[in-house]
């Protein structure tokens, strides 16, 4: 797994050589929120991939905030972190693992 910081470093390296980046984002609303934050932070962002998986009921109801484009643009959240939270329904139905 790659961290957001690593992705930004790779995008910045690509920018040094005049290469733009576009992320493959089909992991649901949490991945979409994280990707939007990265895209807003780099200078060589090309286009955001919107994927129908975000609209599937299980994914749609897994998060509190639903980022969809308006007039061809996404609004980047100014909420803390990546700007996304799990919904109460998602937390209630999640498997709990206690590590002692």
The answer to whether position 13 is within a domain reads yes
User: Residue 34 maps to which CATH number?
Assistant: 3.20.20.120
pTM, entire model: 0.85
40 φ/ψ sector (left φ>0, alpha ψ -120 to 50, else beta): alpha
The answer to whether position 35 is within a domain reads yes
The answer to whether position 49 is within a domain reads yes
User: Domain range holding 71?
Assistant: 4-93
The answer to whether position 100 is within a domain reads no
The answer to whether position 73 is within a domain reads yes
The answer to whether position 70 is within a domain reads yes
Q: What is the pLDDT along the chain (100 residues), one digit of tens a residue?
A: 689 999 999 999 999 999 999 999 888 899 999 999 999 999 999 999 988 888 888 888 899 999 989 999 999 999 999 999 999 999 999 898 999 9
Distance between CA atoms of residues 40 and 43, nearest Å: 8
Distance between CA atoms of residues 15 and 43, nearest Å: 7
Q: How many domains does the chain have?
A: 1
The answer to whether position 99 is within a domain reads no
The answer to whether position 98 is within a domain reads no
DSSP secondary structure of 45-73:
B------GGGGSHHHHTTBS-----BTTB
DSSP label at residue 90: H
Distance between CA atoms of residues 97 and 95, nearest Å: 7
């Amino acid at each position: 797994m790659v961290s957001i910081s690593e992705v930004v470093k790779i995008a910045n390296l690509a920018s040094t050589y005049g290469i733009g980046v576009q992320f493959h984002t089909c992991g649901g609303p949490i991945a979409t929120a994280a990707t939007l934050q990265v895209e807003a932070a780099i200078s060589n962002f090309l286009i955001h991939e919107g994927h129908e998986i975000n609209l599937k009921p299980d994914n749609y109801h897994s998060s509190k905030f639903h980022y969809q484009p308006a007039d061809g643009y996404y609004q980047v959240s100014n909420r803390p972190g990546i700007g996304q939270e799990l919904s109460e329904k998602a937390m209630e139905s999640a498997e709990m693992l206690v590590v002692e």
